[in-house]
Structure 1
Amino acid sequence: MDTINFQDIFKSKFLEQTSSFSIVDSLIGLFASLVIGLFIYWVYKKTFTGVIYSHTFNISLIVMSMATSLVIIGISSNVLLSLGMVGALSIVRFRTPIKDPIDIVYLFWAIIVGILSGAGFVPLAVLGSLLIGAILIFFGNRIKVENPYLLVVRYNGHSIEKSLEHVVSENSKKHTIKSKSVMPGNEYEVTYEIRVRENDMSFINNISEMDGVRSAIMLSYDGNFTA
C-alpha cells in the first residue's frame, strides 16, 4: 500500500507550471508597460482638445497597459489559463460611454502596449509608441477643434423672435435652432447652436438687455445634446 508524505502533497502541477515563471522577464515587461503608459499619459494630456479633461481616464490608460501586460505574462506559459481568461473576459461588460473617437485610439494603444510588453516585444512597443505619439502630437498641434456653443434664451412673447434671430445671425458664423419650448404664461425658451467669430461672445449682453428677455446663457458644447 502506497503512503503519502508531505513531499508528495507539495509536489503538484502548480509548482511545475510556475517553475518556468521568470521574475526578471515579468518585471521587465511590467516596467516597460509602465514607462510607455506614462508616455501615453503625457501625449493624451498634451493633445487633449475636448471640453472637460478627465484625469481619471488618463490614469486608467497607465493601469490598463500594465494590467494587460500582467495578463499576457500569466497566460503565455499556460494554455489552460489562457482559455480560462478568455472565458472570464467574455462576460465582462463595459458600460462607460466613449464620446470622443480619439479616446478609443488611446485605449487601443494602451492595450497593444500591454500585449507587446507582456509578450517580450519591448523594442517593438517602444518604437511603435514613439511613432504613434509623434503623429498624435503633430496633428494635435495643427488641427484646432472649434467647439460650438449653446445659447439658451428665455423670453416673454413671440414679438422679439425676429430681433433675436437678427442679433444671433449678425454675431455668429453659423447657427441653428436645437430646440424651442413654449411654457405657460406666454413664455418661450429657445436653444441655438452657435459658432462665434473669434470667440467673441459679447453680443450675449445685447440679447440680455432686449425687452422681454428674462435670461440668456451661453454654454460650451461638445456636440452631444439631449432635449
Structure 2
Amino acid sequence: MLDILKLQLHSGNATPISVIYAVLLSFVLSTLIAITYEKTFRGLSYSRNFVQALILSSVVAATVMQAIGDSLARGLGMLGALAIVRFRTNFRDPRDIIFMFASLAAGISVGVKGYTIAAGGAIGFCVIAVILYFSPFGQTSYFDGMLRFNLENIPSSKNMLEKVLHDYCKIFALITLRDMAQGNRLDYAYHIKLKRGKRNDDFITALKKIETINGVHLLMQEKTVEL
C-alpha cells in the first residue's frame, strides 16, 4: 500500500507517482478554496475566469516547485524566466488577492511535499472565510442590481419614485445624481436589492408608470452570472 506521507521525501528527483499526487492534491485544495470564494462572494463583479485562475494557479505553483526542487540553479533560472512575463491583471477587491495567495500557498506547499501543511492551511483558510462571512465583520446589507434612469425634476415625480422603491426594494442606495437639461431633469443611479417574491419585470413596469421617467435600465447580478 502506498504511503502518501513518504512520497519522494528524501530524493532530489520526483517520481511519476509523486508528480501525479501533487497535481491532484493541489487541484483538490484549490477547488475547495474556489468553492469557498464562490459561496462567500458578495458584489456585482463576479468573474468565472478568476475562479478558474484560483484552481489553475495552484497546480502551476505545485509544478514549478517540483521542477525547482533543491537546486539553486533551477530556482534562479525559473526566477529569470518568470521575470520575462509581465502580469498586468488588476484585482478589483483586496479579498480577491488574499484568495489568490491562499491558492498559490497551497500549491507551493504541495510542490515542496508539505502535504499536511497544505491541507491544514487550505482547510483552515476556508473555515475562517466562512466564519467571517457570517460574522459581524461580514457585509450585512448588500445589493444584487443597479438601476439607472432620468426623471423630471418635480416633486410629484420624486414622490412616485420613492413609493415604487419602497414597495419593491428591500434595500436601495443612491450612488450618483446629476443634472440634465439645465436642471429640468435628474439622472439617477441606484444600487438595489429587491424584496423576496418581487419580480424584475413588475418592478420595471411600476417605474415606467411614472409619466416623466425615461431611460430605465436595470442590471441584475446573480452569483453565477459574470459581468
TM-score when scaled to structure 1?
A: 0.71
Deviates more, 1:130-139 or 1:64-73: 130-139
Matches within 5 A, 1:137-156: 137-141=130-134, 143=138, 144-147=140-143, 149-155=145-151
User: CA offset at residue 121 of structure 1?
Assistant: 0.7
Deviates more, 1:73-82 or 1:117-126: 73-82
Tell me, in whole angstroms, the C-alpha distance in 2 between the residues paired with 1:175 and 1:61: 32
The answer as to 2:125 corresponding to 1:132 is: yes
* Residue in 2 that maps onto 1:208: 208
Tell me, in whole angstroms, the C-alpha distance in 1 between the residues paired with 2:203 and 2:64: 56
User: CA offset at residue 190 of structure 1?
Assistant: 0.5
* Residue in 1 that maps onto 2:189: 192
* Contact 1:150 1:220 survives alignment (8 Å): yes
Structure 2 alignment gaps of length 5 or more: 1-10, 223-227
* Residue in 2 that maps onto 1:92: 85
Matches within 5 A, 1:52-201: 53-141=46-134, 143=138, 144-147=140-143, 149-155=145-151, 158=153, 160=154, 162-169=155-162, 171=165, 175-176=173-174, 178-180=176-178, 182=180, 188=185, 190-195=187-192, 198=195
* Contact 2:148 2:190 survives alignment (8 Å): no
Describe the shift of the 1:191–1:149 C-alpha distance in structure 2 as closer, same or farther (beyond 3 A): farther
* Contact 1:168 1:175 survives alignment (8 Å): no
* Contact 2:30 2:58 survives alignment (8 Å): yes
Instruction: Using CA pairs under 8 Å that are at least 6 residues apart, name the structure with larger relative contact order, 1 or 2.
Output: 2
What SS does structure 2 have at the residue aligned with 1:66? helix
Tell me, in whole angstroms, the C-alpha distance in 2 between the residues paired with 1:217 and 1:21: 60
**1:57-115, Cα deviation, whole Å (9 max, x unpaired):** 22221211010011111112321121121122223222233223322121111110111
* Residue in 2 that maps onto 1:9: none
What SS does structure 2 have at the residue aligned with 1:36? helix
Tell me, in whole angstroms, the C-alpha distance in 1 between the residues paired with 2:177 and 2:81: 45
TM-score when scaled to structure 2?
A: 0.71
User: CA offset at residue 183 of structure 1?
Assistant: 5.7
Root-mean-square deviation over aligned CA pairs: 3.3
* Residue in 1 that maps onto 2:44: 51
Bigger radius of gyration: 1
The answer as to 2:31 corresponding to 1:33 is: no
* Contact 2:144 2:191 survives alignment (8 Å): yes
* % identical aligned pairs: 23
Describe the shift of the 1:82–1:194 C-alpha distance in structure 2 as closer, same or farther (beyond 3 A): closer
* Contact 1:150 1:219 survives alignment (8 Å): yes
User: CA offset at residue 42 of structure 1?
Assistant: 2.5
* Contact 1:49 1:145 survives alignment (8 Å): no
Tell me, in whole angstroms, the C-alpha distance in 2 between the residues paired with 1:68 and 1:89: 12
* Contact 2:144 2:220 survives alignment (8 Å): yes
* Contact 1:150 1:191 survives alignment (8 Å): no
* Count of residue correspondences: 200
User: CA offset at residue 177 of structure 1?
Assistant: 5.5
Describe the shift of the 1:109–1:196 C-alpha distance in structure 2 as closer, same or farther (beyond 3 A): closer
Read off the aligned partner of 1:153 and give its amino acid letter.
F
Read off the aligned partner of 1:190 and give its amino acid letter.
D
* Contact 1:64 1:110 survives alignment (8 Å): yes
Deviates more, 1:141-150 or 1:27-36: 141-150
